[in-house]
Structure formats: structure tokens, C-alpha cells
Chains A and B, each alone.
Chain A
Amino acid sequence: MIRLFLVFLVFAPLLACAPLPGMGDTPGTETVKALDGVKLISTDISRGDDPRSFGQRNYTISSSSRLLVRYEALSTAAPRILEAQPMYIRVTPASDSEKAKALTSLKICPVLTNWMMAATWQFAHPFKGGGWHPGGDVEFDDCISVDTTVTANPSLGTAASAPLTIGDDCKDSAVVCFNIQPWFKNYLIQRGINYGLVLVTLDNSSISIYGNGSGSRGPRIHWADGP
């Protein structure tokens, strides 16, 4: 018994230094996934199965068209995710000029109603209770701007300055990243809903980005998995 106690005394300081999952500074393992739920809603598209609204190489986001985005299996992955770590959605504008506009005008906002890939500007889905506000039920108060601490801004000649633990891809000069960690914590973890987010412009600008029809430049999500 005394020997067992001595062994405990020797190893106790080491155990105290080990971080618990989801806490502490250890970044864990980065996971990057292509967003599978990518759906354009526009005032020009009335049919939910209109092929222009999904699987496209490029999408234009404006005051009359928005892009719904969601990683459909995020709820399943959530128990492994380190919620204290940032979570990024990475989007690639179609050009440098488009990126310049994205840095100031592009926002990503929580969606408040569950939707499916048949969503339109007027309806989240074609079933009972599927109607929503034109353009989607969006929580504009919780909109997230481009995270300029991780996103390089070529027009200012600056590079990403933050020491990234995950999302090194955000240093790429062609992309913009949104840190959606507040959304993950407030909506998915605390409320248990994964209604996704929507890319919007809150002014009259029109921004072209690559869609999930593009091989490597489609929207991605980054998170840190615990050990």
C-alpha cells in the first residue's frame, strides 16, 4: 500500500500537467471538410431543384442572392471537436478584386430555420411549415465578418499575423476565412441545432466565389479534434 502511495506521489505532477480534452492550449488534430450543403437561394430561382442552385463552380452573392452553407454531419462530429479552438469556414473569391470586396462586405450569419437542398428564396423546404422570410430566416445580429487576423489582405500588403493552431490554409492569399466558433458554441453545442449559415452581403455589392462544383476551391470547414 505504501509503495502504491509513493508511485502516486511520483506521477501526480505529471498527471496534473496533462490537458483534458476541450480545455487547455493543445490544438489537437485539424480536420478539414468540404461543405456538402451548399445551396444558392435567389429571387431569380423559384424551383427548389433548379440545377443552378447547387453543384455549381461559381456563385454570385448579392442583395438578391445568398448562399446557404452547412456541413451536414457536423452534429455527429461535434463530441470530438475542441470548442475552445477556432472553427473556420474558408471561402475562395473568384478573383483578387472579388476578395477585396469580400473582406469588407461578405458576412456569414446563422440560419434560424432548418432547410434542405430544395430551399428557395421563399421557402426553407417544400413541406408544411417550410415558408420563411424572403431570403431566409437569418439572425443578422450574430453575423460574422471575415477574420482579418488570419486572412491575408493583399490590398494592404499584410499577411495573416495570428499564430494559427488550425486553419493554416487561411494564410493563402486567395481565400477568406470566417471564425464561426461562436456559432458552433451558441447554436450547435448549446442549442443542439445545425441549421447552418448563410453567406450574405449587407450592402449592394456583388461578390463571386467558388462553389462546391470547383475541385479544390470550394467552401471548406476547419476544426480541431481532441486527442
Chain B
Amino acid sequence: MKKILGVMTIAGIVLLMISATAFATTTKVGNGDDGSDLEGAQKVETGILAETRLKAVEKLNALHVQNIENLGVLIPEVEKSDLYLVKGNLKPRLKSDKGMEGTPDASSVYARTFAEPHAVTRFFPSALMLGQEQLIALHIHEGLHRALPAQVREDEEVVSKITLAITGPDSSYDRVLKVVQQNIRPPEPVAFTPGGGAAGANIIATYQGPRAPDLENPSSVTYSYRSYFQPKETAAYPVLAMHLLESQLYPFGVGGHATGIGIQFSFLQLPDHALMGPLALSARTRLTTIRGFDVGAFATYAMNTLSDDELKNSPLGRDVTTVGLSLKRDGKNYYAENLLGFSLAGSANQKLGGINYEHDYGTITAATVRAGAKFYGFEFGGFGEMLLSDYYRVRGGAFAFDSGRYRIFSAGPELVFNYEALRLAVSGRFVVDATSGVNLDYLGDILGQGMGQGFVNSSLSLRF
């Protein structure tokens, strides 16, 4: 994290230097507007122009455009931009002057701005002939020229479409979102050059992140079947397989943010019978996108208190609370994800033949790397995961066991087939290396890390 902040700081300084250099010259870059009409212009702080700006900001706030990807800075651009009234009208000579910024007869220009953040807005006397609604649209239009990503902010057609979506009589959040998504394609990520330079600074300044595919259909209902590999030594509680029904719904969040609540029901297959397993509640959210990486957070709470009595009276009968962070890059032909999870310590009580045994589980730190390739509807990949835990202790009667700190490294393949809303996945988890004699049973997290020496998982999801 410190490294990212460091890189961003350097890039920011470079960006400031570039901006400062640009403002220091009289020749304007961008849409060919040289700003010569600013000479003798009067700053506007009251009157119809100031009043309509306030109304424009109110409208933008009402539509919550700040939550729409690529419109995040539109409101401050409209609200904070310095307004100037130029003394005389100007003949249109720029391409943009023939759109919303110019009079219908193309005899003069209503307003202009520099297509870059924080630039001023210049109104021409002809704008004072416009109605209130038209002036509101003009404020928003000029603000969009400054707020949109660099690759589209000078595209008059795109800016006009978004302006209409915002100011039209049928405007709504969904309509604006749709128009923005239709007209602003995510740029291909460009390799960032540490140490600055115009390219690196430009990425940080303008890159808004890809439109994550999982934001289109984030919710899912999944059935999974896991078959466990028993440990080399005897199992403390032999579970052969697990049926898992999971519902992950994302009713919260807008735009680039999505927050979902999930519920998992599990049924365990033991050698001679089946029983109710843990019930898990989870929350997942995509926090933001930084340089093409989706940053998400998750938390799960697996409750064994609601499982079958037999499971409660076993080493696995503990509640598990896990929080974590994910960094994911989802490209057209590949995916890669880093996950960092942290499970709190916990305990379970087991009564065997009149003796009470207390199983104490230490905190678990999990570092996971997932990566794979996409080929048409298929995804081929794998993962590796390092688990570190402080201890696993068992005490009861005259018996005591303490594993001390231990590690488990597991890995496995992933194969996914996507067909429209269906997702069929097969994956495996195998203990590759571990502290001598240790297996996944030591974690006591049947829903999370599993049991024994690992498992094979198959699942079918419906996404919507």
C-alpha cells in the first residue's frame, strides 16, 4: 500500500508540473480554444448565470451522478468552476461551437471552457438570452467537457448525449448510467512507468477503470458439491462431502460500487448419515477501481451454533469470522486476483464419553493468488494459498495438545464454463506442503478452507 501511495504521489507531482506548465503559456491546448476572449471578461458571482449554476448542481445531486463511473467529478466541476462573462459575442469557429454551445443559426457562441479539470467557464452575451433550463443544460455541458475522461471530453457528440440524458424530461439515474456506459468505452490499460513521465501521470489522472463485468450481473445463486480427501492420519471428525447452497445478492450500491449480502446453507455427508452444517452470512463489496484493479472487501461469519447438534459437539463446531481484501484484474483474456484474509481465533467444545475437550483455534492469515486465462466461454486457471495460524490446542481431562504455529500451503486448478447467465465450475484444493502432521482439520473452518487434505468442488451458478 505504501508503494502505491508513493507512486501516486510522484505521479501527482508530475501531473501538477505538467498542468502548471500548460497554464503558464498563452496558447491553449485541447480543442483549439486559445482563451483570447477572456481578455476583459468579468467574473460572475451573482445573477442568472450564478443562480442557474446552483440549480444545475441541485439537479446533478438529485440524480446522484457522483456515483456513476466517469462522472465522479462532474458536480465539483460545475459547482467550483469560475464563471466569466465576456464582453462581446464570438463567431463560432470551433467544431464544438456548432453544437449545444452555439446559437441555432451558428451566428455566435453561448459558452466555452477549456477541456481540462478546473478550467473556467466563459459565457458570451448571447447566453443571457437563453431560458433557465437551457442555461442549466449549458452549465452541465461545459462541466462535462472538464469532468469526462480525456479520450472523450472533447467529443461534442458524446458530451451532448450525456447532457441530454441529464437534463432531458425523462432523465433518471438509470438513463444517465446507460448513456454513459454506452458512450464511454474503457481504455485499454497502459503499463505504468514508475518514476513519473507524462504517460504515467496521464493514467492516474484520467483512468477511471474498466466497467467490471461482475457489476452487470453481480448477484448469483449457486449450488456446490464438495468431496473431501481424508487426512493421512485419522480424522477428528470425518466429513466425506458437503452440499452447499449459496445466495449472493447485491441490492446495495450504485455505479462502480456494489455491496451484497450472502447466505450459505451447508449439509454434511458423514460416513453413515447426513446432517446440517454451518450457516454462513457474508457481505462483499467492490470498493473502487484503481488502475484497472477492482478493490473489494469481504466479511463472512460462519455460525455453527445453528448447525446440527452433532456438529456442534465436534472439533468443527466453532464460529468463524473472516474479513479480507481482494485485488482483482479482469481482462478480456485473463484474470488475476490477490486475496488477503484474516480469520479470528475461536474455540469449540466437544464432549466425548464424559470428558469435555476444548479446541482452541488461533488466528488464521490467508494469502491467496488466483490467475487464469479466458478462452471464449471458458476460464482455465488455478490458485495457490498460504495459510498461517498461531496454534491449534486441545485440552480436556489429563490430555493436552498444542500444535504451535503452523503453515499449510494448498493449491489447485479451476475450470469454468460460462454460458449466458449460467456458470459451471470445477475446482480442487490440495494440501501441497504443510507443517509435519498438520492438515486442514486444524483450521476448524469447514466452509472456508475445508477439511482433511483438501477437496474437489463442482458448482453451478445462475447469475443475474
Contacts and interface: CB of A to CB of B under 8 A. Distances in A.
Interface of A: 36-39, 46-49, 53-55, 70, 72-75, 114-118, 120, 122-123, 125-131, 194-196, 212
Nearest to B310: A49
A131 B237 CA distance: 16
B355 A117 contact: yes
14 contacts: A36-B354, A46-B234, A53-B353, A55-B354, A70-B397, A70-B398, A73-B397, A114-B399, A117-B355, A120-B234, A123-B234, A129-B437, A131-B233, A196-B398
Given A54-B354, A72-B355, A37 B398 contact: yes
B399 A116 contact: yes
Interface of B: 233-238, 271, 314, 352-355, 357, 392, 394, 396-401, 403, 436-438, 441
B233 A116 contact: no
B233 A123 contact: yes
Contacts of A128: 233, 401, 403, 436-438
Contacts of A195: 398
> Which one of A49, A53, A116, A120 has the highest number of Cβ atoms from chain B below 10 Å of its Cβ?
A116
B354 A116 contact: no
Given A49-B352, A54-B354, A116-B357, A72 B233 contact: no
A115 B399 CA distance: 6
A39 B353 contact: yes
A118 B436 CA distance: 21
Contacts of A118: 236, 352
A72 B398 contact: yes
Given A116-B355, A117-B357, A118-B236, 12 more contacts: A38-B353, A39-B353, A48-B236, A70-B397, A114-B400, A116-B396, A117-B396, A126-B233, A126-B234, A127-B236, A127-B437, A131-B233
Contacts of B355: 36-37, 72, 116-117
B352 A127 contact: no
B300 to A, nearest CB: 26
A79 to B, nearest CB: 16
Contacts of A122: 234
Contacts of B271: 47
Contact of A125 (B314, B392, B399, B438): B399
Given A49-B352, A116-B357, A37 B237 contact: no
Given A126-B234, A127-B437, A129-B437, A194 B353 contact: no
B438 A47 contact: no
A49 B315 CA distance: 11
Contacts of A36: 354-355, 397
Given A47-B271, A70-B398, A212 B354 contact: yes
B398 A114 contact: yes
A99 B224 CA distance: 56
Contacts of A39: 353
A113 to B, nearest CB: 11
B236 A72 contact: no
A116 B403 CA distance: 16
Contacts of B236: 48, 118, 126-127
Nearest to B404: A128
A127 B236 CA distance: 8
Contacts of A75: 398
Contact of B233 (A46, A70, A130): A130
A127 B315 CA distance: 12
A109 B196 CA distance: 77
B423 to A, nearest CB: 37
A82 B392 CA distance: 37
B399 A47 contact: no
Nearest to A115: B399
A66 to B, nearest CB: 15
Nearest to A116: B399
A127 B357 contact: no
Contact of A49 (B237, B399, B403): B237
A196 B398 CA distance: 9
Contacts of B401: 116, 125, 127-128
B398 A127 contact: no
A128 B236 CA distance: 11
A194 B441 CA distance: 27
A36 B403 CA distance: 26
A47 B230 CA distance: 13
B403 A127 contact: yes
Nearest to A193: B398
A127 B400 CA distance: 11
Contacts of B237: 49
Contact of A54 (B352, B357, B394): B352
Contacts of B357: 116-117
A191 to B, nearest CB: 13
A192 B330 CA distance: 61
Nearest to B351: A117
A53 B354 CA distance: 12
Contacts of B403: 127-128
Given A72-B355, A118-B352, A127-B403, A48 B397 contact: no
A72 B234 contact: no
Contacts of B354: 36, 54-55, 117, 212
Nearest to A130: B233
B234 A116 contact: no
A209 B400 CA distance: 29
B238 A116 contact: no
A195 B354 CA distance: 17
A55 B388 CA distance: 37
A32 to B, nearest CB: 17
Nearest to A212: B354
B334 to A, nearest CB: 40
Contacts of B399: 114-116, 125
A74 B392 CA distance: 25
B315 to A, nearest CB: 8
7 closest cross-chain pairs (CB), A and B: A54-B353, A128-B437, A72-B397, A117-B352, A126-B236, A116-B399, A194-B398
A40 to B, nearest CB: 10
Contacts of B397: 36-37, 70, 72-73, 116-117
Contacts of A120: 234
